[in-house]
Amino acid sequence: MDPLTILAAANTAFTVVKKVAKAADEADAVYQSLSKWAGHISDLQEWMSQEEAKPSIFKKIAYNKSATAEAFDTLVAKRKIEEQEKEIKSMFYIGALNHLGIKGYKEFIHQRRAIKKKREKEVYEQIRRRKAFFYNTMMGSAITIIGTILISMVWYLIDMIKEVSS
Q: Quick one: pLDDT at residue 126?
A: 92
Q: Quick one: pLDDT at residue 146?
A: 97
In this predicted model, what pLDDT tens digit does every residue of 114-151 receive, in sequence order?
Answer: 888 888 899 889 989 999 999 999 999 999 999 999 99
pTM value is 0.53
Average pLDDT over residues 66-85: 84
Closest CA to 41 of 73, 7, 79, 16: 7
Report the distance separating Cα 11 and Cα 74, nearest Å: 15
Is the pLDDT confidence value at 90 over 70? yes
- Cα torsion angle, 63, 64, 68, 72, sign: negative
In this predicted model, what pLDDT tens digit does every residue of 8-39 receive, in sequence order?
Answer: 888 788 787 777 766 655 666 777 777 788 88
Q: Quick one: pLDDT at residue 81?
A: 85
Helix 27-52 to helix 67-93 angle (10° resolution) is 150
Report the distance separating Cα 98 and Cα 6, nearest Å: 28
Of 91-100, 106-115, 140-149, least confident by mean pLDDT is 91-100
Average pLDDT over residues 87-112: 81
Average pLDDT over residues 97-102: 76
- What is the biggest distance separating any 2 CA atoms in the chain, rounded to whole angstroms? 101
In this structure, the chain runs to a length of: 166
Q: What phi-psi label fits residue 112: left (phi over 0), alpha (psi between -120 and 50 degrees) or beta?
A: alpha
Average pLDDT over residues 75-96: 84
In this predicted model, what pLDDT tens digit does every residue of 35-60 receive, in sequence order?
Answer: 788 888 887 777 777 655 566 667 77
Domain ranges for the chain? 1-114, 123-166
